Structure 1
């Protein structure tokens, strides 16, 4: 997956492999951008998956790092965009071609271990002060629950620190993202207590609506090959990814 330079309006200029540009969205544990050097390659599990997929399809450049909201906008408008990671939700369904289901992730509620707050059901969580990322998937999932104590943050690291300091009672997010963010904040994962499952969702590699289906098929084949030869599993193991237990995905 090569990334050509993107214009100010988000349109991608032609790339060597049929005009495809690759974007890595800043999504916490999965692909993180360096705020001090925003043009530097992203780091994380999905960034590594993208680089390997890119190599296999013969895409000559590295993924272009973008903040999540901007990455979503560019991928929805094209032309010729391949982007990851993106969680699949009903509101996003029509905006992209959903090329490859990279993995599943559980969105859960956590509290500080030793606290007496009840996070066993969604109704009980709704009475608490709950930290969530603004405009993130967690916020989208819970907006119809009518929770009154939502505390919005721009990044999950703020939720980790708020929970540690007692400024919120609970925190909602993807389980692997929560664990990684807790470590990044210099806090112990052992200090977290996991509660009710909000939703299980798939995290995808997506294409812009105009993307040639043959190009999407090449990326899918490269992913299938990674699974078969074990390289996919090795990347997940390297990052300590905790796969959700088998079940029917909502």
Structure 2
């Protein structure tokens, strides 16, 4: 069961759709990664998407959402000019190839499985032969830095359903952000199965990023708008609207 999206989510989408601007639309690259970013949802564009689109609306910017495979989006934005991208984890590998505008939220990551949960990375390395992670996500780098082999890391393309693969036993565990796993599992046909989760074993801030070559005025305007949304409590309301009920560990 999901919490009904707050009307502010829809308001955010309507604000962006109604902006009139003499400038060219700003390109915002984002994957369809519920509940963080969403392309086709009547209530809004996700926990990170709604915050960023509302900030863009506040500064009077018309936005064009670009949907491309996540690895390609990252390369295109990094090499482009004045292109925005969400939700981007600030990792060591990415630090010097983007302009980091502002953090939107902290994302905790955990292992999800149908068996007894692990309590740390060492147990996961020993127990799991195949771990599903999103292709091009920060989860891949986290597992690599924690000593997992390439054979253990199964990179899933956009559209591959990790809940389905887990249910069929094609992966032993799923390493992902906690909101994403709970959202997808709750909306799947497998939700009657007992999904188990480890403690949060990694956490990174999800940022609004821009191309390395990014207009300084745009960066400052967006930083200010995002800070104001956070201080006013609007960001929290937008994020909370997408959180499902959380099961026991």
- TM-score bin (small chain): 0.7 to 0.9
* The 10-residue stretch of structure 1 (62-71 or 205-214) with the greater mean CA deviation from structure 2: 62-71
Question: How much is the aligned-residue C-alpha RMSD, in angstroms?
Answer: 2.9
Count, aligned residues: 222
- The counterpart of 2:31, out of the listed 21, 26, 43, is 26
Give yes or no for the alignment of 1:206 onto 2:212. no
TM-score (norm 2): 0.77
Q: 1:61 to 1:136 in 2, by over 3 A?
A: closer
- The answer to whether the 8 Å contact 2:16/2:53 transfers is no
Post-superposition offset of 1:27: 4.9
Q: CA deviation at 1:227?
A: 1.6
In structure 2, the gaps of 5 or more residues are: 1-14
Distance 1:106 1:198 in 2: 7
- The 3-state SS of whatever aligns with 2:228 is helix
Shift in Å, 1:241: 7.4
Cα–Cα, structure 1 residues 164 and 190, in superposed 2: closer, same or farther, change >3 Å?
closer
In terms of mean alpha carbon deviation, does 58-67 or 171-180 score higher? 58-67
The alignment partner of 1:191 has SS state of coil
User: Could you list the runs of 5+ residues in structure 1 that have no partner in the other structure?
Assistant: 4-14, 35-41, 243-250
Q: For 1:63, what is the secondary structure of its paired residue?
A: strand
**Residue 20 (structure 1) shift:** 6.7
CA displacement at 1:171 relative to structure 2: 1.1
Q: Partner residue of 2:7? A: none
Q: Report the counterpart of residue 120 of structure 2 in structure 1.
A: 121
Q: Confirm whether residue 111 of structure 1 aligns to residue 108 of structure 2.
A: no
1:219-230 matches, cutoff 5 A = 219-230=222-233
Q: Aligned in 2, Cα 1:204/1:16: closer, same or farther, shift over 3 Å? A: farther
Task: Pick closer, same or farther for the CA change 1:44–1:157 going to 2, 3 Å.
Answer: farther
Point out which structure has higher relative CO (alpha carbons under 8 A, 6+ apart): 2
For 2:132, the equivalent position in structure 1 comes to 131
Does 2:100 correspond to 1:90? no
Matching residue of 1:188: 191
Q: Which residue of 2 aligns with 1:45?
A: 47
Once residues 237 and 54 of structure 1 are traced to their aligned partners in structure 2, the CA distance between those partners, rounded to angstroms, is 20
Instruction: Give me the TM-score of the superposition, normalised by structure 1.
Output: 0.77
Instruction: Report the Cα offset of residue 184 of structure 1.
Output: 3.8
Change (3 A) 1:239 1:44: same
Q: Contact 1:24–1:85 (CA<8 Å) still a contact in 2?
A: no
Q: Distance in 2 between matches of 1:75 and 1:93?
A: 14
How far does residue 230 in structure 1 lie from its aligned partner after superposition?
2.2
How much does 1:16 deviate? 4.4
Contact 2:47 2:240 in 1 (8 A): no
